[in-house]
Amino acid sequence: SAVISQKPSRDICQRGTSLTIQCQVDSQVTMMFWYRQQPGQSLTLIATANQGSEATYESGFVIDKFPISRPNLTFSTLTVSNMSPEDSSIYLCSVVLTSGMNEQFFGPGTRLTVL
Amino acid sequence: AQKVTQAQTEISVVEKEDVTLDCVYETRDTTYYLFWYKQPPSGELVFLIRRNSFDEQNEISGRYSWNFQKSTSSFNFTITASQVVDSAVYFCALRNTGFQKLVFGTGTRLLVSP
Higher pLDDT, B90 or B100: B90
- From A12's Cα to the closest Cα of chain B, the distance in A is 17
Predicted pLDDT at B5: 97
Partners of B107 in the β-ladder: none
Say which of A31, A48, A109 has its CB closest to residue B44: A109
Predicted pLDDT at A103: 82
Contacts of A105 in chain B (CB under 8 A): 47
Residue of chain A whose Cα is closest to the Cα of B109: A40
Residue of chain A whose Cα is closest to the Cα of B45: A106
Measured in degrees and rounded to the nearest 5, phi and psi for residue B72 equal -110, 5
Contacts of B100 in chain A (CB under 8 A): 31, 33, 48, 96
Whether the CA torsion A22, A24, A28, A30 is positive or negative: it is negative
Mean pLDDT, chain A, rounded, equals: 93
Residue of chain B whose Cα is closest to the Cα of A46: B101
Find all residues with CB under 8 Å of B16, minimum gap 6, and list them.
Answer: B81, B82
Predicted pLDDT at B57: 82
Measured in degrees and rounded to the nearest 5, phi and psi for residue A17 equal -90, 175
- From A47's Cα to the closest Cα of chain B, the distance in A is 9
Between the alpha carbon of residue A101 and those of residues A18, A95, B97, the distances in Å are: 36, 12, 12
Say which of A1, A31, A108 has its CB closest to residue B44: A108
Our CA dihedral for A77, B3, B11, A42, rounded to 10 degrees, sits at 20
Per-position pLDDT tens, chain A of length 115: 789 999 999 999 999 999 999 999 998 888 899 999 999 999 999 999 999 889 999 999 999 999 999 999 999 999 999 999 999 999 999 998 877 677 889 999 999 999 9
A87: three-class secondary structure by DSSP: helix
Contacts of B50 in chain A (CB under 8 A): 101-104
Predicted pLDDT at B38: 97
pLDDT higher than threshold 90 for residue B101: no
